[in-house]
């Protein structure tokens, strides 16, 4: 029987709570499927590790992860450590060396969940945002000199490369092609940023020629926020730069009812390195340790992981179980206006998996 080796890394805040719930559910998925097993190895990297060792993870951290089939990640960030240290010390220190260049963020309204949009009941909003995950505004290029002096200078340089843009466009077009509507929107800001973003647009048009069956259009990022809100049904697959997609995916999650359900995958599509799967929500210190974190984002994330591993029936079974649970409002956690606990939701998903009749 196939055994998948999974690195389980809770990280900070509610991360360990939701990853624990994810591991529990994935074990039931494997048991229920009968065709594969999961072997989890825990990692205690994150802000507590930083307080003890002065680093978020060991120097060879990313290399230690190479031998796994996938990584299940919780969250990173602590109130007493600057965010740029925690982010660059852990998440980006894994994504970048493992070249997880395609960040995929599906958004749809799960049964039982209400969109804040008046005219949206569900089917009108079904998107996948593809976030460039290796360069752009998050390249880490820049510097700061003369700190604190009147002449202080600081730069963050957004780097776009032809190979970097080409590969994310190809990935996005291919994903759009695999979805029923075959529709892609390329987000840009080439009216104001006249170098890299113009190249971004040009490469999109070049790659589009390889996908004649995909309908595509271009949208300025500011206008995109309006379109997502006013005409959500006109969108399907969306590709955007690292920062643009970061911002748009929070909007997408809110429009779909809660950040507590939004999943993401950091993929190396060529599978040369393990991919990393994480809920979008972050560490949420206000509710850490209270047992009320919404584990649904992690379950959806776990489903994306199963899909990446090639376990399609288990993926579908898990999503169906999650949807059965979200449809029941008494199983909503406080972020969705309910009173349920992480444990109640997790147990309910496990029960739904066990009683699934497919």
- Contact between 87 and 242 (Cβ < 8 Å): no
Q: How far apart are the C-alpha atoms of 231 and 235, rounded to whole Å? A: 8
Q: Quick one: which segment of 82-90, 241-249, 284-292, 323-331 binds Mg ion (CB under 5 A)?
A: 241-249
132 contacts ligand IPM (rule: CB under 6 A): no
Smaller CB separation from ligand IPM, 15 or 112: 15
The answer to whether residue 250 is catalytic is yes
What's the DSSP call for residue 210? T
Helix (H, G, I), strand (E, B) or coil at 107: strand
246 contacts Mg ion (rule: CB under 5 A): yes
Smaller CB separation from Mg ion, 31 or 83: 83
CB of 83 to ligand IPM, least distance (A): 6
Q: How far apart are the C-alpha atoms of 156 and 172, rounded to whole Å? A: 26
Q: Quick one: which segment of 188-196, 239-247, 291-299, 312-320 binds Mg ion (CB under 5 A)?
A: 239-247
Smaller CB separation from Mg ion, 4 or 73: 73
15 contacts ligand IPM (rule: CB under 6 A): no
- Contact between 26 and 90 (Cβ < 8 Å): no
User: Using CB under 6 A, which of 17, 126, 246, 335 touches ligand IPM?
Assistant: 246
The answer to whether residue 138 is catalytic is yes
CB of 87 to ligand IPM, least distance (A): 4
Smaller CB separation from ligand IPM, 69 or 137: 137
Q: What is the dihedral of CA 141, 147, 153, 159, to 10 degrees?
A: 10
In the region spanning residues 276 to 295, those forming contacts with ligand IPM, defined by CB under 6 A, are 280, 282
Q: How far apart are the C-alpha atoms of 110 and 122, rounded to whole Å? A: 7
13 contacts ligand IPM (rule: CB under 6 A): no
Two structure tokens written together for 356: 């699934």
Count of residues touching Mg ion (by CB under 5 A): 1
Q: Quick one: which segment of 156-164, 215-223, 238-246, 336-344 binds Mg ion (CB under 5 A)?
A: 238-246
Helices (H), the chain: 15-33, 47-53, 61-65, 83-86, 92-95, 162-178, 196-208, 221-230, 242-255, 296-308, 312-326, 342-354
- Contact between 304 and 312 (Cβ < 8 Å): no
87 contacts ligand IPM (rule: CB under 6 A): yes
List 4, 49, 101, 138, catalytic entry: 138
Smaller CB separation from ligand IPM, 15 or 77: 77
CB of 13 to Mg ion, least distance (A): 15
Phi, psi of 293 (to 5 degrees): -65, 140
The answer to whether residue 218 is catalytic is no
Q: How far apart are the C-alpha atoms of 284 and 62, rounded to whole Å? A: 25
Q: How far apart are the C-alpha atoms of 24 and 345, rounded to whole Å? A: 12
135 contacts Mg ion (rule: CB under 5 A): no
Smaller CB separation from ligand IPM, 109 or 280: 280
Q: Which residue ranges make up the site for Mg ion (CB under 5 A)? A: 246
- Show which residues are catalytic: 138, 189, 222, 246, 250
């Amino acid at each position: 029987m196939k055994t998948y080796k999974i690195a389980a890394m809770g990280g900070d805040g509610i991360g360990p709570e939701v990853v624990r719930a994810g591991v529990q559910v994935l074990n039931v998925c494997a048991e229920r499927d009968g065709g594969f097993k999961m072997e989890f190895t825990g990692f205690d990297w994150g802000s507590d590790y930083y307080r003890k060792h002065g680093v978020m993870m060991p120097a060879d951290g990313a290399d230690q992860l190479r031998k796994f089939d996938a990584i299940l990640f919780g969250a990173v960030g602590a109130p007493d450590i600057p965010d740029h240290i925690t982010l660059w010390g852990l998440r980006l220190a894994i994504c970048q060396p493992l070249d997880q260049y395609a960040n995929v963020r599906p958004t749809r309204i799960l049964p039982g969940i209400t969109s804040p949009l008046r005219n949206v009941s569900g089917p009108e909003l079904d998107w996948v945002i593809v976030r460039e995950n290796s360069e752009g505004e998050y390249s880490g290029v820049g510097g700061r000199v003369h700190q604190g002096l009147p002449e202080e200078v600081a730069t963050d340089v957004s780097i776009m490369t032809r190979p970097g843009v080409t590969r994310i466009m190809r990935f996005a077009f291919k994903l759009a092609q695999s979805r029923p509507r075959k529709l892609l929107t390329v987000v840009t800001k080439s009216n104001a940023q006249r170098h890299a973003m113009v190249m971004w647009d040009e490469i999109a048009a070049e790659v589009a020629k390889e996908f004649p069956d995909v309908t595509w259009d271009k949208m300025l990022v500011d206008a995109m926020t309006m379109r997502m809100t006013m005409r959500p049904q006109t969108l399907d697959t969306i590709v955007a730069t690292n920062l643009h997609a970061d911002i748009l995916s929070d909007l997408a999650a809110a429009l779909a009812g809660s950040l507590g359900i939004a999943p993401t995958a950091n993929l190396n599509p060529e599978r040369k390195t393990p991919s990393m799967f994480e809920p979008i929500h972050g560490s949420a210190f206000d509710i850490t340790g209270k047992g009320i974190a919404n584990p649904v984002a992690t379950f959806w994330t776990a489903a994306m992981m199963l899909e990446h591993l090639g376990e399609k029936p288990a993926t579908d079974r898990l999503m169906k179980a999650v949807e059965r649970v979200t449809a029941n409002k008494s199983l909503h956690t406080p972020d969705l206006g309910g009173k349920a606990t992480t444990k109640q939701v997790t147990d309910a998903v496990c029960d739904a998996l066990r009683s699934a009749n497919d």
